[in-house]
Amino acid sequence: MDASQAQNRTYLGMPLARPRVAFFELSSCEGCQLQIVNNEANLLDFLSLVTVVNFREAMTEKSDAYDIAFVEGSVTRADEIERLAVIRKNAKVLVAFGSCACFGGVTQLKNRFKDPAWVKKQVYGDRSIQTNDTARPLEDFVSVDLRIYGCPVKKEEVEKIVTHVVLGRSIVQPKYPVCMECKENENTCLFDLGEPCLGPVTRGGCDSWCPNSRFGCWGCRGPAEDANVGQLQVIMKQYGFTEETLLDRLECFGGFAKDAEQLRTNMKLSPRRHEGTK
Amino acid sequence: MKSTRTIDIHHITRVEGHGNISITVKDGRLIEARWEVVETPRFFEAMLVGKKWENAPWISGRICGICSIGHTLASIRAVENAFGIVPDEQTASLRLLLKHMETLQSHVLHLYFLAAPDFLNVGSVFPLINSHPDVVQRAAKIKQLANDLCDCVGGRRMHPTRTVVGGFTMLPEKKELVRFKERLNEIKTDLLDTAELFRSFAIPDFSRETEFVSLQGNGAYPFIGGNLVSSDGVVKKEQEYAAMTNEYLVEQSTSKWSHLSRPSFAVGALARLNNNFALLNPAAQEVSVSFGLKPINHNPYMNNIAQLVECVHVVLDSLRLIDELLGMSWKKPRHPAVPKAGIGVGAVEVPRGILYHCYEFDDEGRIVRCDCVIPTSQNHANIQHDLSALAEQCASQGKQDREIELLAQMLVRSYDPCISCSVH
Amino acid sequence: MTAPHHGRQLRKNDLAKFEHTYKAEIASVSQLTAMERLYRIQIIDPEERRLFSFKPGQFVMLELPGIGEAPFGISSSPSSRDDIELCIRTAGNLTAWLARATRGMRVGIRGPFGTSFPMETMHGQNILLIAGGLGLAPLRSPIAYVQEHRNRFHQVEILYGTRDPSQLLFTFQYDLWRRDEIGLGIIVDKPDPAWKGPVGLITRLLEPIIAGKDEAFIQNTSAIVCGPPIMFKSVCAMLNEAGIPMQKMFVSLERRMHCGMGKCCRCNVGSTYTCLSGPVFDFWSVMNLKEAI
Amino acid sequence: MIFKVCEQEELRRLFDILAADNTVVGPVQTGLDRNGSALNAFKPVADYTNLNLGYTTTKLSAKSYFLPFRESLASFQIDGNDWQKTVDYHCDRPIVFFGLHACDINALNKLDKVLMGNTYPMPYYAAKRKNMFIIGIDCQPQPFCFCRSMGSDTVLHGFDLFITDIGNRYFIEIQSATAYNILARIKTRPPEEVDHLQYMAIAAHKNKQFTSRVDTTDLTKILDMEFQSPVWKQWGDKCLGCGTCANVCPTCYCYGVEETVDIGLRSAQKVKTLYSCNIVDFAEVAGGHNFRSERHTRLKYRYYHKHRGFVEAYEESLCVGCGRCGEACLAGITVPEVIASVRGEES
Ligand SMILES: Cc1cc2nc3c(=O)[nH]c(=O)nc-3n(C[C@H](O)[C@H](O)[C@H](O)COP(=O)(O)OP(=O)(O)OC[C@H]3O[C@@H](n4cnc5c(N)ncnc54)[C@H](O)[C@@H]3O)c2cc1C
Ligand code: SF4
Ligand code: SF4
Ligand code: SF4
């Protein structure tokens, strides 16, 4: 957006900087960026707080002079590592935007195979294709200043965080698990309805988005602080769910990668049990 | 002026994903026009191997942020077809309503935010906020309605939470649907205003004959499942999709490409309209005709208009669907799924064209093989051929670089490509 | 309840008091150290200003709309009715915002809340005022009281310890205190080259003061101790050793607080509300609070 | 105390009279759980037939109607350097509770002590509490109920009417003049000897139904002594730190406050959200120091607050023995078991 349109904003009489923000995407579905555009009601207010200087999905002009870079997606190719390094250099604040950027997201599901050649072959046959063996979160390559969790990110949360950044407030994300907000929303617990849920160990802040739809949480926001995954494992068993069900959820978005790895090892489960049957 | 000119567009903007255009013209003659797809592959088809069926819609919906609802529905349909589940009327109607709202949301996003800036000579929608506030407000209003209704039926607008194999996890409240009826009625005029806006745009005059592939309507304009049809007369069953898409690898793209009767074919709004014009709602047909858009139209830029026509169609059809749903008494939202070995295919018309998900299951319902064919990957070859023809035409007309650059980008944009999706 | 209730008073219009905010203005800001600033805050409405009074040891909730609200001990003299002074360390969200604040900013004040140091009951006694670090901020109020009523007290000693000389607060007042015949001992943990005073922990300053004192002195001495838990724990242990009754040692506890009025439970220690029964406790009560220290 | 008796059908008339100008909230069956048992919740009810007066318990207590999980304490209009604060107690209509069990009414009485007593009554709560009309109803003890141990199986005050089903008619206890006047609008009669006998028989029968109990003898002292007991660690290892126990509890009232600015920077909100002492940052202060960083210290604190601190302050426990927390806890941590283990009893 044209910088000349920027008026000087203040809050309680204090002048506020109007940060120049840029959006970038690595390997992703670009859904998190789209959530910005999906925010029809407050888009104009959003645009009066910041100056968008780079948003390939929505605009042609681009600039490398930005304060805040929102980077969506995981790192899966050498050129992305280079792009990310440049972004890091240009940005004062680098935001890992969404679960892919924070944890690797669904894309890191390929990591479990431990056999990159097989993975490539499954899609591209014998053709050579340039790709890294694993999909990784941003912080494996650069330092990250702020994380916005979620697959997809929640627009209310993005708004709040952006407002806080502009105001110069510190960003405090919920440390409690999803259950907290689920109860606040007066949902019937999915375990009572016979459905599995990762809410007891997943970081809140999504307003129990999935359980509100009677759909158990898959842990897209990664672990809550002090998450008791071991106890959840006991509970899942008590409620008659298989370890595979728990594993599916733990490994879906990468936030629980360590727990998933551990569980997979304990289960002696091969990720590609079907090769033989094929 | 130098005799050899190269136009390089690295990472074309206002499209979803990463693609490059490169055009080389020497002495007024086209040497090469290239459409390159440089998106990073994410390997969804490998990722799903070994996973239980319930993971498929949840994970594969993440192929695309814009049409996650379409992916989810295609994936669910593939699983249901494999397990022999036929959705009841309530589920089918709700899914179609959800699908319609995704179509509306995506088309409006494309028309206003991605395509319109070209016609209004700006780089993005942002300057329009000040110069054309009514236009931006109208776009936001329609999009918001579509997204809100997606939230209401699907749980959320992106990566939906209520859509599952066997139906829905929960149903919308009927009084909410009644409220949406009002809002749908309200935006009819906004759509007519949208038509007026696009009528004021000069749609580039360019045509190249090609083949159009879509679902075949069976009594209704098609969106979910059914036979596959091409404008060259090919008809196939849903499960024979592979014979329709014939995917192959090319060096200039990380996405696969497709062909059928000719070197390339097109899918999308224009293809659907060309193949099923008679099944459009009469009011939508009227809008179409007013733009001179009648089957079979070979101008790829007219895809924008076809999208506009479809917006009118889905809004009117949603009103019908809501009436139908309000007349039903709610049944159980979800039926249990019993996994069994077999192959299932789900074909769904998503905003950018026909999308296929295909899974092979073992008898416990674990995925043995997975294949997803994305609309944009089916379009890539057609984009390449259009681009060559367009560049050739421009070169012979002696057009300036800037003009060629704009026309080439507008051409790619008119397909509303979802490049990251096509690579998945 | 195990804790004493001195300083607690019922107020009129209790219901409306819950969220009653005095609108106030930052009248001046002075930088004391790199992290601490002294804010002079004046209630805008003259009538409200007249009605506002507090006792040494009490705290207020300071609010910046939309930014946050947090408890701060009042650091100025209870007899100055025109304004209050808060000494605030940059620690997080609200305090970082305040660090950028300038004169004229409008803030909200609720309170005063909590118990206070029972100054009147100490009349005629010796007083030890012992502070560690930021603990000097809440002590400045009882010190001011002592200054203003110097003849009502016998020996008065301020013992003050910080990590290094750059963190010393209220340096401009040291001479004024000494002039009023208040003993002042300062010790730092990590001296810089210019430092000439004693080095070590605060207990080093305390030793000579209580060592060899006769029974009469000990029995007639009260102590006010403010600082981090680890500090007041060892200081109080030493005072106890010397024979000063635990009921005559007063400490100020710091806990998370969201209401200041005994509702949110965040400041509960065991199950005593720090905001209602505290922040000032006698040390005997603290001993009885599980997990207080 | 004034007693009356009415025919069952009269209750519907009472409902209709009350529902005409008030929001009536009562137990409603919302579905079935995975075992096919009824799920109940307190919901606004417009039609008497939707009430499920014979309900066993509800998953969540009724507190969202008087202690909402999220409530704005104040809003601010921001105007340049200046701002205006507006306080709203969010109480626009009286609420009629139709069918609260004794434990839940006792819970209100306990909350009254903290939220309406001491130095600063909380107007958000008080306003709603004063605008309540409560009809209590008797219940059948469930396996998880230990209200009897907590002295909450009967309730002495804090309601307007209390009704007991004594077989095809209701025995009514009248507490308030309002209730007396409203009752005049339906058909009642004074109880007779046979009604008294029947009432007492039912009460005696109910007393025999309790299976779950907590020994509260000397509990404050025992908790004090067992502060370092290793059983806390064992329970702490199980605890998910999810806050569910506090959220379903009718008496948990702890909260946090957060201020936010709207994205247009024109207004700000000060919002109170019920919090739970089991949440990791409950006692964290600026600079990151956490007074209860370990899970078991937080779990222990919940018990100390309810069963020790509150007793010392008010001579009664802050737990009514409704058993909701134990039922809702996925890790299966229940009050009777925890207390028994602290007392060194086999559970
Ligand atoms: C009775 C009392 C008197 C105090 N006096 C002073 C003083 O004179 N000078 C001074 O600099 N500091 C004082 N503090 C500490 C001061 O309250 C915290 O530094 C302040 O809350 C930090 O707020 P923040 O928003 O900057 O930090 P954040 O960590 O961002 O705080 C977030 C919220 O947590 C709560 N919180 C965090 N830390 C504390 C804490 N230590 N105590 C209470 N609540 C906390 C507050 O409610 C705050 O709104 C006192 C604390 C108490 C309890
Ligand atoms: S549904 Fe999930 S998030 Fe909600 S309470 Fe149950 S376990 Fe927690
Ligand atoms: S409920 Fe779980 S999966 Fe759903 S949005 Fe929240 S954290 Fe993500
Ligand atoms: S602590 Fe548990 S049993 Fe006691 S009142 Fe609360 S929810 Fe009921």
Taking only the tens place, the pLDDT of each residue in B61-99 is: 999 998 999 999 999 999 999 999 999 999 999 999 999
- In single-letter form, the type of residue at position B419 comes to I
Same domain, D227 and D96: no
Would you place residue C293 in the very low, low, confident or very high pLDDT band (cuts 50, 70, 90)? low
Q: What is the pTM of this model?
A: 0.91
Whether the per-residue pLDDT at D152 is higher than 60: the answer is yes
Same domain, D224 and D169: no
- The residue whose C-alpha atom lies closest to atom 44 belonging to ligand 1 is C256
CB pair distance less than 8 Å for A13 and C65: no
Same domain, D102 and D246: no
Whether the per-residue pLDDT at C243 is higher than 90: the answer is no
Cα(D295) to centroid of ligand 2, in Å?
19
Distance from CA of D216 to the nearest CA of C (A): 18
Same domain, D271 and D200: no
CB pair distance less than 8 Å for A179 and D243: yes
Same domain, D286 and D334: yes
A218 lines ligand 3 (CB under 6 A): yes
Please give the tally of structural domains in chain D.
2
Whether the per-residue pLDDT at C288 is higher than 90: the answer is no
Pocket test for ligand 3, best of A183, A206, A250, A256 (most atoms within 8 A of CB): A206
Whether the per-residue pLDDT at C5 is higher than 60: the answer is no
The percent of chain C in helix, strand and coil, each rounded to the nearest 5, is: 30, 30, 40
Ranges A60-74, C263-277, D126-140, D249-263: which has the least confidence: C263-277
All residues of chain D having their beta carbon less than 8 Å from the beta carbon of residue A46 are 263
Cα(B374) to centroid of ligand 3, in Å?
27
Cα(A255) to centroid of ligand 3, in Å?
12
Cα(A180) to centroid of ligand 3, in Å?
13
* CATH fourth-level superfamily of B44-375: Cytochrome-c3 Hydrogenase, chain B (1.10.645.10)
CB pair distance less than 8 Å for C97 and A168: yes
All residues of chain C having their beta carbon less than 8 Å from the beta carbon of residue A13 are 104-106
A179 lines ligand 2 (CB under 6 A): yes
Whether omega for the bond prior to residue B296 falls within 30 degrees of 0, making it cis, is: yes
**D329, D338 contact by CB (below 8 A):** no
Distance from CA of A171 to the nearest CA of B (A): 25
Per residue in D287-330, pLDDT (tens digit) is 778 888 889 888 888 888 888 888 888 889 999 999 999 999 99
CB atoms inside a 10 Å sphere around CB C233: 17
Residue A7: what pLDDT?
60
**D76 within domain boundaries:** no
- The residue whose C-alpha atom lies closest to atom 8 belonging to ligand 2 is A179
Per residue in C40-54, pLDDT (tens digit) is 999 999 999 988 999
Percent share of chain D, pLDDT over 90? 69
Report how far residue D313's alpha carbon sits from residue B235's, in angstroms, rounded to the nearest whole number.
82
Would you place residue A277 in the very low, low, confident or very high pLDDT band (cuts 50, 70, 90)? very low
Q: How far from the centroid of its chain's Cα atoms is residue B177's Cα? A: 25
Nearest to D240 among A11, A193, A200 (CB): A200
All residues of chain A having their beta carbon less than 8 Å from the beta carbon of residue C105 are 12-14
> Chain D contact for C16, CB < 8 A?
yes
Q: Residue A55: what are its φ and ψ, rounded to 5°?
A: -160, 80
Report how far residue A257's alpha carbon sits from residue A262's, in angstroms, rounded to the nearest whole number.
9
- The residue whose C-alpha atom lies closest to atom 6 belonging to ligand 4 is D249
Most D CBs within 10 A among C58, C266, C276, hence the mutation to make, goes to: C266
Which atom of ligand 3 is nearest to A205's Cα?
6
Cα(D286) to centroid of ligand 1, in Å?
6
May I ask the CATH architecture of the domain C119-287?
Answer: 3-Layer(aba) Sandwich (3.40)
Whether the per-residue pLDDT at A2 is higher than 80: the answer is no
CB pair distance less than 8 Å for A213 and B254: no
Higher pLDDT, B325 or B1: B325
Same domain, D9 and D154: yes
Q: Where in chain C is the domain with CATH 3.40.50.80?
A: 119-287
Per residue in B248-298, pLDDT (tens digit) is 998 888 899 999 999 999 999 999 999 999 999 999 999 999 999 999 999
Higher pLDDT, C270 or D137: D137
Write down the mean pLDDT value for chain B.
Answer: 94
| Chains D and B touch each other (3 or more Cβ pairs < 8 A) | no
All residues of chain A having their beta carbon less than 8 Å from the beta carbon of residue D280 are 175-176, 224-226
> Chain C contact for D114, CB < 8 A?
yes
Query: Domain segments of chain A: what residues?
Result: 3-167, 178-266
Neighbouring chains to A with at least 3 Cβ pairs closer than 8 Å: B, C, D
Per residue in C208-226, pLDDT (tens digit) is 888 877 888 888 899 999 9
Q: Across residues D8-23, what is the average pLDDT?
A: 93
> Chain A contact for D31, CB < 8 A?
yes
Sign of CA dihedral D39, D40, D45, D47: positive
**C70, C62 contact by CB (below 8 A):** yes
Of how many residues is chain A composed? 278
Q: Which domain range does residue D126 map to?
A: 2-69+85-207
Same domain, D60 and D112: yes
Cα(D250) to centroid of ligand 4, in Å?
7
**D336 within domain boundaries:** yes
Whether the per-residue pLDDT at C3 is higher than 50: the answer is no
Angle at C168 between CA C164 and CA C170, to 5 degrees: 180
> Is this complex's ipTM strictly greater than 0.85?
yes
Report how far residue B285's alpha carbon sits from residue A65's, in angstroms, rounded to the nearest whole number.
48
Whether the per-residue pLDDT at D150 is higher than 60: the answer is yes
Please classify residue B400 by burial: count the beta carbons closer than 10 Å to its beta carbon, then call 0-12 exposed, 13-18 middle and 19+ buried.
exposed
A219 lines ligand 2 (CB under 6 A): no
Pocket test for ligand 1, best of C110, C113, C256, C267 (most atoms within 8 A of CB): C256
Query: Strands across the sheet with B342-350, in order?
Result: B342-350, B353-361, B367-373
- In single-letter form, the type of residue at position B339 comes to P
> Chain A contact for C67, CB < 8 A?
yes
The CATH number for C12-113, chosen from 3.90.1520.10, 3.50.50.60, 2.40.30.10, 2.30.42.10, is: 2.40.30.10
Query: Strands across the sheet with B211-215, in order?
Result: B235-236, B228-230, B211-215, B265-266
Residue with tokens 């150290």: C33
Nearest ligand to residue A221 Cα:
3
Q: Residue B128: what are its φ and ψ, rounded to 5°?
A: -65, -20
Question: What fold characterizes domain A3-167?
Answer: Rossmann fold (3.40.50)
Residue D83, token pair as written in the block:
């701002």
> Chain C contact for D217, CB < 8 A?
no
> Chain D contact for C65, CB < 8 A?
yes
Q: Which helix (H) or strand (E) holds C15?
A: helix C14-17
Report how far residue B75's alpha carbon sits from residue B82's, in angstroms, rounded to the nearest whole number.
11
D255: helix, strand or coil: strand
CB pair distance less than 8 Å for C101 and A14: yes
Query: Domain segments of chain B: what residues?
Result: 44-375
A202 lines ligand 3 (CB under 6 A): yes
Among candidate residues D143, D173, D207, the one where a domain is terminated: D207
Distance from CA of A169 to the nearest CA of D (A): 10
The candidate with the shortest Cα–Cα distance to D124, out of C266, C113, C261, is C261
B204: helix, strand or coil: coil
> Chain D contact for A21, CB < 8 A?
no
Ranges A178-182, B393-397, D26-30, D188-192: which has the least confidence: B393-397
- The residue whose C-alpha atom lies closest to atom 1 belonging to ligand 4 is D319
Exposure string of B340-374, with b = 16+ CB inside 10 Å and e = fewer, is eeeebbbbbbbbbbbbbbbbbbbeebbbbebbbbb
All residues of chain D having their beta carbon less than 8 Å from the beta carbon of residue C11 are 119
Residue C8: what pLDDT?
31
